[in-house]
Amino acid sequence: MLDVPVKTPCIGVCSTGIGDSVCRGCKRFCHEVIDWNSYTELQKRAVDGRLSSFLSQCVSNKLRVRDTALLQWQLNVQKIRFEPWHDEYCWVFSLLKAGAGQISDTRRYGFEVDLRYRDMPLPALREAIDSEFYVLSEAHYERYMMSPDLFRDGAQ
């Protein structure tokens, strides 16, 4: 998939313009939002890889994909945009973003909610995942962008 250009992760809900260091919409860092159009494909892939890894981690904390082929079929039938090079947990999040309130039986979509979260309505679960994704992105920003470089020459 290295020949497919990386699309902007922007979802049109940018909060960096109001002072956030991490966008509450796409979870990119403020400098990545500003500089996105000047990034090379390699730089865009690095950002995309970080974001998809974080999202996958947050989704997999709350549900399990049981049938990847069924999930992909549903995404195609429902005409829901998803990135084929992302993993199935990112695909589930695309599905939840598009219609969490319309899914009554998750097994028909190839996934199931972890027992700890089964009493939570899917729209609330989607919001919990998105919130965790934001917290993880913000923590990464604070740790690696805001902290002094501990490995720089002369650091003690």
Query: What are the residues whose beta carbons fall under 8 Å from the beta carbon of 85, sequence distance 6 or more?
Result: 1, 4
Average pLDDT, 10 consecutive residues per value, the chain (156 residues): 81 85 93 94 96 98 98 97 96 97 97 97 98 96 78 57
In a domain, 24, yes or no: no
| Enclosing domain of residue 85 | 43-144
Q: Please give the pLDDT value at position 150.
A: 59
Q: Please give the pLDDT value at position 153.
A: 63
Q: Please give the pLDDT value at position 16.
A: 82
Read off the pTM: 0.90
In a domain, 34, yes or no: no
| 98, 117 Cβ separation under 8 angstroms | no
Count of domains forming the chain: 1
In a domain, 94, yes or no: yes
